[in-house]
Amino acid sequence: MASSQKDSPPVCDYEGSDYQSSFWDTGERAYEDQAEAIALKRMLPKAGNLMLEVGAGAGRNTPRYKGYERIVVMDYSTTQLQQAQERLGRSDRYIYVAADVYRLPFMAGLFDGATMIRVIHHMSDAPLALSQIRESLQPKAIFILEFANKKNLKAILRYWLKKQDWNPFTPEPVEFVELNFDFHPKTIREWLRKIGFKIERQLTVSHFRIGFLKRLVPTKILVWLDSLAQFTGGLWQFSPSVFVRSRAIGETIIAPEGSFFRCPECKTPLGEEKNNALKCECGLTWGIEDGIYNFKEPIK
C-alpha cells in the first residue's frame, strides 16, 4: 500500500483498495461510525464557505459537512475519489482533488474549514502535514483533527501486563505496523499550538471499541454511552480515538479573490483550466480527468 515520492515522506496509498466496502460497509464498525458522526456534529460550525477534507477516502464523512457551501474532497488515491464521486455525485458543491498532503495544491489562506479524520494515523511526518493544512487556512478557520491515541486504556493494560513492548506514556509516536502510527495527545496538542492553532475542544471517541462488548451490547446503547463519555475529552484522554477542534490564529494570509489552486511543485498560482488541464509557468501540467483534479503526477 505504501508508495514514495522524491523529497517527500512516504504516503500510505489506498489506490485500488476496497477499504470502504471491506472496512466500513460490513456493519461491523457501525458503532465507530456513529460515534464519529456524533463527535463531528458537536465540533462542526453551523455554517461555512469552503471546507477542505483531507483524506476523504470514499466520502464516508463528507455528507456530514452540511453547513459548508462547498467541499474539497481530497485524497491521495484517485480510485477512492471515484468511489466518493459515485456516492456524492458531480456538482458544484464537491471538488474532487487527488493530492499529497505534504505538497498541497491550494493557495495559502483559501479555506475557512478543514477536517482530517482517521488519516494522520498514516503519517510519518505529521507536523509537516499539519503545517501544510495550517497554511491553506484563513484567519479563524476551524480545523477538526481525529488521531489514534497511543495512551489508550487497552494499550496501557497490555503494557502493564507485559504483552506490549512500547510504552504508551512516552511522547513520541509509535509505528506499530508500517505507516500506521498512534500519537500521544500531548504531542498532538504541542504540534498544533506551535504551528498556529488554538485548541478549542477535545472529545474522546470509540471508548467501547472492544470486540466482545460490540457483540454483546446493542450498537445503539454503545453509541449512546460513547456520546456521554465523549465529554470527558477535555479532562483526560484514554480512548483509542480523539477528536480535537482548533482554530487558526496568528499571522495568516488570505488567498486573493478568485484564486484557488497553486502548483504543488513550485507554489505558483494556477490560472484558468484549458483542455482539462492546468498549466504552470514552471512547465508542469496538471490534468483533470472525469471530474477529478490530479496533482499527484504531472501530465507528461
Residues that bind Zn ion (CB under 5 A): 263, 265-266, 268, 280, 282, 284
Q: Are 207 and 242 in contact (CB under 8 A)?
A: no
| Residues facing 174 on adjacent strands | 182
Three-state secondary-structure class, residue 186 = helix
Instruction: Retrieve residue 255's grid coordinates.
Output: 488567498
Closest separation in Å from C-beta 110 to Zn ion: 17
Closest separation in Å from C-beta 277 to Zn ion: 13
Q: Which is nearer to Zn ion, 84 or 280 (CB)?
A: 280
Q: Which is nearer to Zn ion, 213 or 266 (CB)?
A: 266
Closest separation in Å from C-beta 282 to Zn ion: 3
Closest separation in Å from C-beta 279 to Zn ion: 9
Q: Which is nearer to Zn ion, 113 or 298 (CB)?
A: 298
Q: Are 80 and 57 in contact (CB under 8 A)?
A: yes
CA dist 131 and 128 (Å) reads: 5
- Quickly list DSSP for 85-129: HHHH-SSTTEEEEE--GGG--B-TT-EEEEEE-S-GGG-TTHHHH
CA dist 205 and 220 (Å) reads: 15
Q: Which is nearer to Zn ion, 208 or 261 (CB)?
A: 261
Phi first, then psi, for residue 120 (nearest 5°) are -60, -25
Within the chain, residue ranges assigned H as helices are 19, 30-43, 78-88, 126-135, 153-160, 185-194, 211-216, 219-229
Closest separation in Å from C-beta 168 to Zn ion: 43
Closest separation in Å from C-beta 105 to Zn ion: 10
Q: Which is nearer to Zn ion, 154 or 267 (CB)?
A: 267
Closest separation in Å from C-beta 270 to Zn ion: 8
Characterize the bridge pairing of strands 180-182 and 174-177: antiparallel
108-84-23 Cα angle (round to 5)? 110
Q: Which is nearer to Zn ion, 117 or 263 (CB)?
A: 263
Q: Which is nearer to Zn ion, 221 or 282 (CB)?
A: 282
Residues 6+ apart with CB under 8 A from 82: 290, 292
Closest separation in Å from C-beta 78 to Zn ion: 21
Q: Which is nearer to Zn ion, 3 or 268 (CB)?
A: 268
